[in-house]
Amino acid sequence: MRMLIENARILTMNENMDEHLTGWIVIEDNLITALGSGAFEKAGQLFDEIVDAGGDLIMPGMVNTHCHMSMTMFRGLGEDVDDRLFRYILPLEREAVTPDVVRIGAQLAALEMMLGGVTTTADMYYFEREVGRVLDGAGMRGVVGQSLANFAAPDHTSFDEGFALVDALRDEFAGHERIIASIAPHAPYSTGPAIMARVAQYVADNPSVKIQMHLAEMKSEMEWCATHHGCRPVELADRAGILQEGAIMAHCLEITPAEIELMAERGITVAHNARSNAKAGRGIAPVEAMRKAGLSVGLATDGPMSGNTLDIFAQMAPASLFAKLLGGSRACLPAQEVVKMATIEAAAVLGMSDMIGSLAEGKRADLIRISLDAPHLLPIYDIYAALVFSAAASDVRDVLVNGVWLVKNRVSLTVEREKVMREAAQCAAAFRSKISQIDGVN
Amino acid sequence: MRMLIENARILTMNENMDEHLTGWIVIEDNLITALGSGAFEKAGQLFDEIVDAGGDLIMPGMVNTHCHMSMTMFRGLGEDVDDRLFRYILPLEREAVTPDVVRIGAQLAALEMMLGGVTTTADMYYFEREVGRVLDGAGMRGVVGQSLANFAAPDHTSFDEGFALVDALRDEFAGHERIIASIAPHAPYSTGPAIMARVAQYVADNPSVKIQMHLAEMKSEMEWCATHHGCRPVELADRAGILQEGAIMAHCLEITPAEIELMAERGITVAHNARSNAKAGRGIAPVEAMRKAGLSVGLATDGPMSGNTLDIFAQMAPASLFAKLLGGSRACLPAQEVVKMATIEAAAVLGMSDMIGSLAEGKRADLIRISLDAPHLLPIYDIYAALVFSAAASDVRDVLVNGVWLVKNRVSLTVEREKVMREAAQCAAAFRSKISQIDGVN
């Protein structure tokens, strides 16, 4: 398979932040093999497909560094209730989450993400094998994390059972080109030091398995940690050995400058859930301080019960606005930095920046095409500002992952839209009637 | 003209917040004459047009309470620079703003707004007659404010000239069904007490002319006011008599509880520019405190050089998220309240809540149709949360103002899209070369 994309405005997001106002890209099988400026000389060359981008923007696919895809089935529930994690979410999950719910919810999420230009996502949930299979079938890339938790999770009643699920996930996706198995201790308060240490040992024994965890997310977590362990969550996690090189920590809201230094030393990475954190009234993560310390920080949607949308465009403006509010200046977290956090830096968060996140020779062919010919995007004096502050998921026209089109002309090719939406609607209806039986849930 | 919209999910936004899961609306000429639940009995009735909404949502058109439409031509300039008002914006406006620029910029803005479901906007700028004409031609509703300022504005070199422009605007749109003339002293610091008092007198003499002003927006304004007048902007404006019943004050960030009480007593209304305020790093306006005191607060985009987008969907989630951050709770400013601030309450801000902002018998037929059949909107457990946290401008399918379709199937009927975009691109190119001659402007 040999493809040429020509007549494109190209954002490479490479180290030099090279842009081509008019450029071309050659793709062979799943790799970008060449790209450049100007008109491509096609004489004597054979292509299976030639795409005239007509001046549209080609850029790396968006990377979502933290998600709970299947929670689309919970989207819009318990919207305005504080402390709903323990009051609503956990009882709902125990009662209602089955492999079918996970599969149907993940399908809807994959559809929404691909239509919005997300080509790679991290995920952590229960029955995570189903999520891996959905992402695989959708043609997307993913880091799929089997959650471990002590609160009677829907798919395990003991940590031994939980670790067995991680084993099964690891085995199912061993050597997979696009799906990477991950182990996801839910949080310090829902696992504890001994289990976090066991996770650290598991990863030492299984170096292909990545760690994902919620860390330093909220006041109740800080209180639990102080009361039960006389320290803060970052210290507790570090003592357990879980802050390993490449471990992905989500949220990191309640952190001190010294903790930021420690996190950077350990080589962990951070998933920044801008909208979800704000929606819970929890505050603004110190993104600029973390990045200044050398931590890779990627944008993330969080699960749709917390953040509602699953597109990264919806995260970009808020991420910048929150940083500007925190720093008290328009100069904080400028648009170009935000686009990095949606692409190359998010890829680094997932340990995949050698493969994806920028457009360069030898990298995987994961890219999106954005129509710039829209009133809300005009004029384009600053392409990064246009992407961050004006563009929307609906501006994404085509999506390519690993050299395969997932979306063309805003139509999903690898997921059956009508079938997935019908199954989701049926599942939501059944779900709703179950929910009404759980005391106190709206 | 007699029209029936049937098979619609209807949000009325009326006093009882009535919703119809399946409902119908009858429109005669420019008025809603009946609406209700269930199937409409058509036997023996004659309609010029029958619309089967196919389960789509029908709700009041969005109302934008503060804008500088023509600044689309500046969108994306000087993105990350603090204090750019005096360093960039004012020199750029002096150099580059002509009636043609105002007209072309306003056309592009009108196109973007109508496609995003905004049916009514407030605006304040120079050569404002051009803006009024553009809105009139587009079929939109507007409160168009001629700006008055002491910093060598593009269209007046003295306040006498400025007031003459207000006279001309008042005369041109006297008795107009959709366009209301307004007088817009730029801000306390750019007019001063004597001119604010003259504005107050002008409005006493011309009660049909509404006041719009920027108030209590930023630290430099507070410092100016303290230094030159020994007080705060709200007090200065009040002493000048400008805080009149129905005057629209934009921003209101730097206000105390006592000032909120005073503002409520005076009966002014507030335009809340959530994204624009945050983008400048200025802070979060105390929306909940203002609303609790009885002030009407409407969402606003601000001008596109400050807020980039001109659709109210892009404001809704941030407005709620900022309020939740300010209040430290998920319960702050819930979705339903945000939708009010985009419709009926925004209409009240503009003094038009007897005419628009909700769907009810006798009100003007200003409404929008939103496609709910989209992956990112599923499932809909809470329609207000879906609108605020998941929906986007691109979900708007049809737009009706005063009984006339402005947009059908996402195509603008009253504005020539290609022509407007071509003119805007040409204007931006010329503009860019002018800008490069202004020292220090990017």
Q: Nearest-CA residue of chain B relative to A108?
A: B375
* Count of CB atoms situated within 10 Å of the CB of B342: 31
Enumerate residues 330 to 389 of chain B having a beta carbon within 8 A of any beta carbon in chain A. 330-332, 334-335, 373, 375-376, 378-382, 385-386, 389
One-letter identity of residue B47: F
The CATH H-level (homologous superfamily) assignment of domain A2-60+357-410 is Urease, subunit C, domain 1 (2.30.40.10)
User: Considering CB atoms only, which of B281, B330, B431 is closest to A328?
Assistant: B281
Structure tokens at B275: 């994204």
pLDDT tens for residues A356-400? 999 999 999 999 999 999 999 999 999 999 999 999 999 999 999
Q: What's the burial of A176, exposed, middle or buried (CB within 10 Å: 0-12/13-18/19+)?
A: middle
Tell me if B317 and A314 make a contact (CB, 8 A cut-off).
Answer: yes
- Put simply, the chain B residues between 274 and 313 with a CB less than 8 A from any chain A CB are 275, 278-284, 307-311
Name the minimum distance, in Å, from the CA of B309 to any CA of chain A: 5
- Token code pair at residue A182: 């991950």
B101: contact with A, CB 8 A cutoff? no
Contacts of B310 in chain A (CB under 8 A): 376
Nearest to B92 by CA among B112, B77, B105: B77
Interface check A414 vs B, CB under 8 A: no
Q: Which residues of A touch B424 (CB under 8 A)?
A: 378-379
Task: For residue B378, give the nearest of A80, A375, A421 by CB distance.
Answer: A421
A421/B376 touch (CB, cutoff 8 Å), yes or no? no
pLDDT digits (tens, 9 = 90+) for A189-228: 999 999 999 999 999 999 999 999 999 999 999 999 999 9
Say if the Cβ atoms of A75 and B278 lie within 8 Å. no
Class of residue B131 by CB neighbours under 10 A (exposed 0-12, middle 13-18, buried 19+)? buried
Secondary structure class of B16 (helix, strand, coil): coil
For the stretch B383-396, pLDDT in tens is 999 999 999 999 99
- CA of A374, closest CA in chain B: separation in Å? 8
Torsion sign (Cα): A303, A307, A309, A314: negative
Under DSSP, is residue B4 helix (H, G, I), strand (E, B) or coil? strand
Interface check for A433 against chain B (CB to CB < 8 A): the answer is: no
Across the interface, whether the CB atoms of B330 and A389 are under 8 A apart is answered: no
A327/B281 touch (CB, cutoff 8 Å), yes or no: yes
Closest CA to A72 of A267, A311, A353, A325: A311
Mind telling me how many Å the CA of A407 is from chain B's nearest CA?
A: 14
Taking a C-beta distance cutoff of 8 angstroms, is the pair B57, B9 a contact? yes
Give the angle subtended at the CA of B8 by the CAs of B3 and B9, to the nearest 5°.
140
Q: What is the pLDDT of residues A33-89, one digit of tens each?
A: 999 999 999 999 999 999 999 999 999 999 999 999 999 999 998 888 877 777 777
B2-60+357-411: CATH superfamily = Urease, subunit C, domain 1 (2.30.40.10)
> Mutation test of the interface with chain A: which of B64, B87, B111, B378, choosing the one with the most A Cβ atoms within 10 A?
B378
CB neighbourhood size of A205 (10 A): 8
Over range B181-198, report the average pLDDT: 98
- Mean pLDDT estimate for chain B: 96
DSSP state of B177: S
Q: Which residue has the higher pLDDT, B77 or B142?
A: B142
Q: Does A253 touch chain B (CB under 8 A)?
A: no
Q: What string of DSSP letters covers A382-394? A: -HHHIIIII--GG
Mean pLDDT of A282-300: 98
Contacts of A279 in chain B (CB under 8 A): 320-321, 324, 330, 389
A86-112: pLDDT as tens digits: 777 788 888 889 999 999 999 999 999
Q: What pLDDT is stored for residue A364 in this prediction?
A: 98
Whether B428 sits inside 8 A of A378 (CB atoms) is: yes
Whether residue B334 contacts residue B312, with contact meaning beta carbons closer than 8 Å, is answered with: no
- Residues whose CB falls within 8 Å of the CB of residue A191, separated by 6 or more in sequence, listed in order: A148, A149, A150, A159, A185, A199
State the nearest Cα–Cα gap between A411 and chain B, in angstroms.
12
What are A23's strand-pairing partners?
A: A8, A37
pLDDT in tens, B231-263: 999 999 999 999 999 999 999 999 999 999 999
Would the CB atoms of B279 and A389 count as touching at under 8 Å?
yes
Which one of A111, A380, A385 has the shortest CB-CB distance to B375?
A: A111
Residue closest to B303 by CA, chosen among B186, B158, B386: B186
What digits encode the pLDDT tens for the residues B282-298? 999 999 999 999 999 99
Q: Choose the closest CB to B76 out of A309, A332, A386.
A: A386
Interface probe, candidates A67, A381, A395, chain B, greatest B C-beta count within 10 A: A381
> Under a CB-based contact definition with an 8 Å cutoff, are residues A169 and A102 in contact?
no
Flag if B115 and A275 touch (Cβ within 8 Å): no
Rounded distance between C-alpha atoms, residue B140 and residue A365, angstroms: 45
Q: Going by CATH, does the domain composed of A62-349 fall within 3.20.20.140? A: yes
Averaged pLDDT score across all residues of chain A: 96
CB contact under 8 A, A308 and B280: no
pLDDT higher than threshold 50 for residue A442: no
A170 near B CB under 8 A: no
Would you call B376 and A77 a contact, using CB atoms and an 8 Å cutoff? no
Q: Which residue of B has its CA nearest to A337?
A: B80
Residues A293-326: tens digit of each pLDDT: 999 999 999 999 999 999 999 999 999 999 999 9
Give A163→chain B minimum CA distance, Å.
32
Q: Which of B79, B321, B332 sits opposite A382 (nearest CB)?
A: B79
A249 touches chain B (CB under 8 A): no
Query: How high is the pLDDT of residue A179?
Result: 98
Nearest by CB to residue B375, choosing from A108, A389, A431, is A108
Report the range of poorest mean pLDDT among A133-147, B71-85, B119-133.
B71-85
Tokens of B313: 């969907």
Among candidates A317, A330, A379 on the partner chain, residue whose Cβ is nearest the Cβ of B428: A379
Domain span(s) for CATH 3.20.20.140 in chain A: 62-349
Q: How far apart are the first and last CA of chain B?
A: 52
Is the pLDDT at B145 greater than 50? The verdict is yes
Which single residue is written with the structure tokens 């405005």? A9
Contact assessment for residue B70 and residue B17, using Cβ atoms and an 8 Å cutoff: no
Closest-CA residue of B relative to A276 is B321
Is residue B318 reached through a cis peptide bond, with omega within 30 degrees of 0 on the bond before it?
no
Closest residue in A to B326 (Cα) is A281
Contact list in B for residue A421 (CB cut-off 8 A) is: 373, 375, 378
Domain with CATH 2.30.40.10 in chain B: 2-60+357-411
Contact at CB, B389 and A279, closer than 8 angstroms: yes
pLDDT reading at B442 higher than 50: no
Contact: A76, B317; criterion CB under 8 Å: no
Residue B222 phi/psi, 5° resolution?
-60, -40
A309 → chain B, closest CA residue: B390
Overall pTM > 0.95: yes
Name the residue facing B279 among A79, A84, A324 (closest C-beta).
Answer: A324
Burial bucket for residue B7 (CB in 10 Å: 0-12, 13-18, 19+): middle
Chain A partners of B331 at a C-beta cutoff of 8 Å?
80-82, 281
Query: Mean per-residue pLDDT for A243-271?
Result: 98
Report chain B residues whose CB lies below 8 A from the CB of A77: 381-382
B328 to chain A: closest CA residue: A281
A289-307 as b/e: b if 16+ CB within 10 A = bbbebebbbbbbbbbbbbb
Q: Reply yes or no on whether the pLDDT at A156 is more than 80.
A: yes
Confidence of residue A439 (pLDDT cuts 50, 70, 90): low
Q: Which chain B residues have a beta carbon less than 8 Å from that of A111?
A: 375
Binary contact (B375, A284; C-beta < 8 A): no
pLDDT confidence of residue A440: 53
Mean pLDDT on B346-368:
98
B397-441 pLDDT per residue, tens: 999 999 999 999 999 999 999 999 999 999 999 878 777 776 554
